[in-house]
Amino acid sequence: MCTLAVNPCVKFQFPHFHRRRRQKRASSCHCNTRIMMVAFSLPQNSSIQLRSSLLPQNTQYLNRAPQFLPVNDVITCGMRSKEARVFPRLCHAISEKESSNSLGATAKNNNPIIVIDNYDSFTYNLCQYMGELGCNFEVYRNDELTVDELRKKNPRGILISPGPGAPQDSGISLQTVWELGPDVPLFGVCMGLQCIGEAFGGKIVRSPSGVMHGKSSLVYHNEGGEDGLFAGISNPFTVGRYHSLVIEKESFPSNALEITAWTEDGLVMAARHKVYRHLQGVQFHPESIITTEGKTIVANFIKLIESKEAVSAT
C-alpha cells in the first residue's frame, strides 16, 4: 500500500485503485499548503504517473508528481518514450505579488533561464521550484531548437533536465555543455550531470549500486569553502535518486572537473568545472520529495547566476 500527498485541486481517476480519503476542493485556489492523501495498491511491475496543474491568482504552476517505475526498468528515468509526452512548452508567468518577494526579483537581467527538457516527467517539478523562486524561464524539448537558436535567446542560465537513456540520447544537451557552458551558468540534473561529465572526457557507466529509482541516499559535499550549489545545506543530507548510470570515478576528468558531492560508497553525486565555476551538476534529483533540501539547491543555482551577472556588470 502506498500513500501519496498531493495537491487538493487535482481530480484523480484510478480505475483499479481504492481512494481512501479525498479532501474537497476549496472555492479559493489559494491552497499551496493543503494536501490530500490517496492510498492505493499496485500490482507488481506496474507504474503510475500523476500530473496536476495549479493556477493561484495570475501565476501558473504545473506540478507533476514523480512516477513509480517498474522494477525491471533499467536505464530510464521518468517517462520512457517521447511519444508519451503530451505537455506543451510552458513559460512561467510571475504574478505581481510573487515577483515582489521572489529571490530573483532584484535581478536586472529579465532574460529567461532556458530549461532543456529531455522528455522527462520530473522537468516541470524543477520548473515549479524556479517559478516559486520568482524566475522567468522557458522550456524547450531537447530536439525543439538548435544550440545556435538557444544562444540567440541570450539566456541568463541553462538547466539541463533529467531524462531517459544516456547523454547520446539527450538531443542538444551535450552540445550545449560544450558550446555554452563556458559562458552561461549551467545546471545539469541527473542526465544533465552525465552530459557535463561526458563533455569533458568522463565515461558514463552503469552504477555499481544497480538501479536507483526512487531510492534515498546520504550525500556528503565539499565545495572548498566556496558558495556553490550546497551553500547552507546540511552535511550529509538525504537525496532522492532515480538513475542507473553514473560518471565513472576511475575515468573522472579531474583535469577539468572536480567532485563536490558523493555517496557513502564513493559514487559521484555532484561536480563542477574547475575554471567555469558556474558550470555545475548533480546526479540526484533536487526536486524529488525525498531530497530534503532540494529547493535550496535550485535557489543556490539562481544565486550563481546573479553572482556572475554582478561580476559582468562591474
CB 213, CB 255: distance < 8 Å = no
Spot the catalytic one: 98, 132, 287, 306. 287
Buried/exposed 68-98: b ≥16 CB within 10 Å, e otherwise = bbeeeeeebbbbbeeeeeebeebebebeeeb
Spot the catalytic one: 92, 213, 221, 285. 285
Beta bridge partners of 239: 217
| 273 has catalytic annotation | no
CB 64, CB 124: distance < 8 Å = yes
Spot the catalytic one: 9, 77, 135, 190. 190
| 285 has catalytic annotation | yes
Place of cell 485541486: 9
Place of cell 507504474: 47
What is the grid cell recorded at 108?
A: 536586472
194 phi and psi angles, rounded to 5 deg? -60, -35
> Does the CA dihedral 221-139-184-307 come out positive or negative?
negative
Q: Which residue, 267, 147, 145, is CA-closest to 197?
A: 267
Beta-sheet strands, E only, within the chain = 2-6, 36-40, 48-54, 61-68, 113-117, 137-141, 157-160, 186-189, 204-206, 212-221, 237-243, 245-247, 257-263, 268-273, 279-282
Q: Which contacts (CB < 8 Å, 24+ apart) does range 98-102 have?
A: 98/59, 98/132, 98/134, 99/134, 101/134, 102/133, 102/134, 102/135
Instruction: List, by residue number, the catalytic residues.
Output: 190, 285, 287
